[in-house]
Amino acid sequence: MKILVTGGAGFIGSAVVRHIISNTQDNVINLDKLTYAGNLESLVSVEASERYAFEQVDICDRAELDRVFEQYQPDAVMHLAAESHVDRSITGPADFIQTNIVGTYTLLEAARHYWMQLDAERKSAFRFHHISTDEVYGDLPHPDEVAAGSELPLFTETTPYAPSSPYSASKASSDHLVRVWLRTYGFPTIVTNCSNNYGPFHFPEKLIPLVILNALEGKPLPIYGKGDQIRDWLYVEDHARALYKVVTEGKIGETYNIGGHNEKRNLEVVQTICSILDSLVPQNTPYAEQITYVTDRPGHDRRYAIDASKMNAELDWQPQETFETGLRKTVEWYLANQEWCQHVQDGTYQRERLGI
């Protein structure tokens, strides 16, 4: 099978590409604009494979998308290209509207145009898999706000959408477009919504890598508000396995929620990272003493939690990593890959790879 992966140089996208090339016989066409968060150094382990190809293309560029579809003739699309940083969406929402909404529309139309020209057999086998986020659902009741012992709800595939930020609103919009292209045009789409990912090759602006690197540099470890926001954490390689399951075995028109079954308060996450660093690279004072509290961001959701039982029941998937094992692997990876961290922030490898 030939799979076109958009955003394949990003955090989750690169994990998907590495998984497919390393664990299957499928071919991957990695289509990525290479914004600040996309880095080809995340793909060094697979870039020499004959089953891998890279195209530097913006998903808003219809002519280039048409060329890629015509040239490579993919059997499926896994759409991960997106602007994804909530804080950036608050200060500059325009890029999120352009990439996540207009880009998804442009990709859908290019893919549909290509799909309509396929023969009957290839047309019936084609899949457009749209990868989204649990943030489209808004937030859930927090344990501090309900009676002790009360059962706390989880996001399911039928939870109503209630986005809280320009980022999550743009992703909600793209989800709606994907479903409409199935209902209106019969275009074969599948949607997945995932919880917070973490793991190797994560751009350092996100919480876990930011805390690891700041701790090592002796900088403050910023916590929004009281640090009581709860997230369900999913190891990125577990997510990659799930996404491949969906694109190869999932049912057209279905939505699948993918989560790690690891609800943790942000403060607990940071404290755990500090504890791991205390054991691996001890310093004179505990790393937790670097924790600082900063003003909470506008519209900050208090709790996310995914019910991934549908993935388990229908596609026989469940996470292999616990939060403890996954987080330790993540910290160890960043300790061993300081050069990657430097390159991804200054663009050294990218410029050399592209000859610029």
Position of tokens 């922030």?
345
Helices (H), 117-165: 120-125
As a whole number of angstroms, the distance between CA 119 and CA 143 comes to 53
The answer to whether residue 145 is catalytic is no
Q: Are 179 and 119 in contact (CB under 8 A)?
A: no
Q: Are 314 and 183 in contact (CB under 8 A)?
A: no
Crossing angle, helix 323-336 and helix 266-280, to 10 degrees? 50
List the catalytic residue out of 58, 135, 238, 301. Answer: 135
As a whole number of angstroms, the distance between CA 208 and CA 210 comes to 5
Q: Are 263 and 235 in contact (CB under 8 A)?
A: no
List the catalytic residue out of 72, 137, 167, 304. Answer: 167
List the catalytic residue out of 134, 232, 237, 263. Answer: 134
The answer to whether residue 278 is catalytic is no
Q: Dmax over Cα atoms in the chain, in whole Å?
A: 68
Cα radius of gyration rounded to whole Å, the chain: 20
The answer to whether residue 134 is catalytic is yes
The catalytic residue positions are 134-135, 167
